[in-house]
Amino acid sequence: MKDLVIRLKNQVGALADMGEALAEAGISVEGGGAWVVNNEGIAHFLVEDGKKARQALEEKGIEVIKENEILVQRLKQDQPGQLGKITRAMQKAGVNIEVLYSDHDNRLILVVDDYEKGKVVSNNWTQGVYA
């Protein structure tokens, strides 16, 4: 899976255009979100095939700024403090979290500035090292 950073016009229908472009290419959005910042639409969406999604969007004139590797984690929802613990573990490893959201399976999606270091933290988390 890949996180796509997409620039959208801040206008009515921009998200619909994006969604339809992906649908026409047979691409499902697995998670993400969109925001308006400084009057510019910025979206992060999780897709299975980043290359195919990028092509579908760009063919419709929708700009894909970047394609990111992601880290995927499952937090223990019944235990308060999980988000703080995993983000602190990233901080202690010197990893900056650039984007954080959930996918449609309630998993935490992280885009980080140092994927390899982040992957070590994520793998440790999965093994219960930071639990």
Tell me if residue 119 falls in helix, strand or coil: helix
Number of H helices, E strands in the chain: 4, 7
Strands 40-47 and 108-112: unpaired
* CA dist., res. 107 & res. 124, Å (int): 16
* CA dist., res. 2 & res. 30, Å (int): 10
Paired with 121 in beta bridges are none
The residue ranges of every structural domain in the chain are 2-68, 71-126
* CATH architecture, domain defined by 2-68: 2-Layer Sandwich (3.30)
pLDDT in tens, 21-67: 999 999 999 999 999 999 999 999 999 999 999 999 999 999 999 99
pLDDT confidence band for 130 (50 / 70 / 90): low
Residue 102 predicted with pLDDT over 60: yes
pLDDT of residue 128: 84
* CA dist., res. 39 & res. 10, Å (int): 6
